Structure 1
């Protein structure tokens, strides 16, 4: 099985009460048996800790046979610090302004030097002057920028059902980006 991630990111740079919301989402996911309630060494990030895949995961994806059951890295990692989520393979750094519809990727990705340390949440289109949270701009493929993120290790090829992504967003209280990374 090739390695992939499905990353759910709220479309807001600074999520209010992000740590409490992370705990609430973990409870919801573990109550539905999508992930296990206690962390184990099934993650990929620092320390390798994550929440292992559980049987309920089969109900929220289009291709349950592609889920990473039996793999050492198969868990959900919850990130509660400011992070940039982009695909790593074949990523063209393309972005567009929702107002003027022009390509502004180069300028936007250069602005991440100010976004990452939290100097700003916003970006201003160099073409028309439209300003919004960086997540308000258009990205192909999807990207996310937030202090809250949910990384499902090994789940990218299974493809979340759209209804699950919608329910996830509803529970968060914000629209989400679904970043899929395949290596």
Structure 2
């Protein structure tokens, strides 16, 4: 079982997201957190990812839990619209930040319009408050965006808050960290 730690901006559509992804990747390479060259250390698609670097030890709480020496250990950068939720035991519960009522069922049903990019927003069926879907309250960390950074096998090491703050600065957006369990070896 591979536990991914996914850093996602809390905004549906990041402007110039591909250029932003390249800038963040250059920063991560410069800090030696990941390797510059792609290798087959990823988990999804063609398995190409940026392997873990020695600098990763300085951005996590428990460096001894990083996946050094594991076949799957790399960073995958996603530059398409994706839904980032835990796959196991996800409750699909959400609340409106305005009226504080439960709106999870309606919100998750609205993803059929969100996914193809027909809208970035969700409107609360209880009070008509409208905001980017990421502006609603979730019981479990999740995010919806056209940009995501999947760190394969890094979740148990736990990112330091200073690293997440730096990541948010690079994105110009607050971030969510989503833990996802995936089959793998």
> TM-score w.r.t. structure 1 length?
0.97
Gaps of 5+ in 2: none
SS of 2:83 mapped into structure 1: strand
Q: Match for residue 100 of structure 2? A: 101
Q: Match for residue 12 of structure 2? A: 13
Once superposed, which parts of structure 1, at least 4 consecutive aligned residues long, lie more than 2 Å away?
A: none
How far does residue 182 in structure 1 lie from its aligned partner after superposition?
A: 3.2
How many angstroms apart in 1 are the aligned matches of 2:6 and 2:17? 16
Q: Match for residue 28 of structure 1? A: 27
Q: Does the Cα contact within 8 Å between 1:68 and 1:74 map onto a contact in 2?
A: yes
How far does residue 151 in structure 1 lie from its aligned partner after superposition?
A: 0.4
* Residue 52 of structure 1 pairs with residue 51 of structure 2: yes
How far does residue 90 in structure 1 lie from its aligned partner after superposition?
A: 1.0
Gaps of 5+ in 1: none
Q: Match for residue 91 of structure 1? A: 90
How many angstroms apart in 1 are the aligned matches of 2:159 and 2:179? 10
Q: Match for residue 150 of structure 1? A: 149
How many angstroms apart in 1 are the aligned matches of 2:158 and 2:98? 30
Q: Match for residue 121 of structure 1? A: 120
Q: Match for residue 110 of structure 2? A: 111
Q: Does the Cα contact within 8 Å between 1:11 and 1:135 map onto a contact in 2?
A: yes
How far does residue 140 in structure 1 lie from its aligned partner after superposition?
A: 1.6
Q: Match for residue 133 of structure 1? A: 132
Q: Does the Cα contact within 8 Å between 1:156 and 1:182 map onto a contact in 2?
A: no
Q: Match for residue 77 of structure 1? A: 76
How many angstroms apart in 2 are the aligned matches of 1:38 and 1:172? 22
How many angstroms apart in 1 are the aligned matches of 2:153 and 2:138? 23
> TM-score w.r.t. structure 2 length?
0.96
Q: Match for residue 166 of structure 1? A: 165
Cα RMSD after superposing both structures: 0.8
Q: Does the Cα contact within 8 Å between 1:8 and 1:179 map onto a contact in 2?
A: yes
SS of 2:19 mapped into structure 1: helix
Q: Does the Cα contact within 8 Å between 1:66 and 1:158 map onto a contact in 2?
A: yes
How many angstroms apart in 2 are the aligned matches of 1:140 and 1:156? 19
Larger strand proportion of the pair: 2
How far does residue 163 in structure 1 lie from its aligned partner after superposition?
A: 1.0
How many angstroms apart in 2 are the aligned matches of 1:16 and 1:47? 26
How many angstroms apart in 1 are the aligned matches of 2:175 and 2:47? 25
Aligned length: 182
Q: Does the Cα contact within 8 Å between 1:95 and 1:139 map onto a contact in 2?
A: yes
